[in-house]
Amino acid sequence: MKIKRAGVLAFLGMLMLGATLIIGCAGGGGTETPATSHFETGGISFDYPSTWRVLQSDDPMRVAYLSEVSTNTTLQVIKEAPPGFTLKTYHDNMVIAMMVGDPISGRSVNVGGLSGYETVFNAKINNIDYRLRLISVEKDGIFYDIVCATSPAYFDEVNEDFNTVVNSFEVQ
């Protein structure tokens, strides 16, 4: 089974559109993380840089949606239970559907005590280049995707902020 590319691209387009729409809002930098805030809802929790803003989403699969304006960075957590997929197949199909070029890196990970997969890759959404870090984990048949997206130019700068989220991520 393949995840439909159009649906994934539409989903990511909405992600990036949300970040673009809040560009005029106040925001902070992405490299230093002197203080964190805590996010907890929908059966997940994690810490995130206090300069990031929590956004509202009408998508019932999007459990968390955050943004940092100065680097046009977004983070979202998607929760779903697609029938007939292993976590590896699901993760790989998501990457293939969104990726432009070759993957930058990929590996098995352990996040919050859950085994999963991580891939870093480039994507083009609405003619804008992004670098994504997609982490997929599973608990009790439910898949959780942590999707970190920013401009390739800012990726190294904000990757430590992504680590703040990933290293504190828990599924209750």
* The pLDDT value given to residue 1: 47
pLDDT confidence tier of residue 125, bands split at 50, 70 and 90: confident
* 6-36 tens-digit pLDDT: 455 445 544 454 443 333 333 444 444 459 9
Cross-sheet strand order for the sheet of 170-171: 36-41, 44-49, 170-171
What are the boundaries of each domain within the chain?
5-22+36-171
Give residue 160's pLDDT band: very low, low, confident or very high (50, 70, 90): very high
pTM of the model: 0.81
Lookup: tokens for 140: 């009790």
Sequence-ordered strand ranges (E) for 3-157: 36-41, 44-49, 53-54, 62-68, 73-80, 100-111, 114-125, 128-139, 142-150
Retrieve residue 106's tokens.
């990929």
Q: What does the alpha-carbon distance between residue 136 and residue 91 come to, in Å, rounded to a whole number? A: 6
The CATH topology of domain 5-22+36-171 is Protein Transport Mog1p; Chain A (3.40.1000)
Number of H helices, E strands in the chain: 3, 10
9 or 65, which is more confident: 65
User: Coil, helix or strand for 84?
Assistant: coil
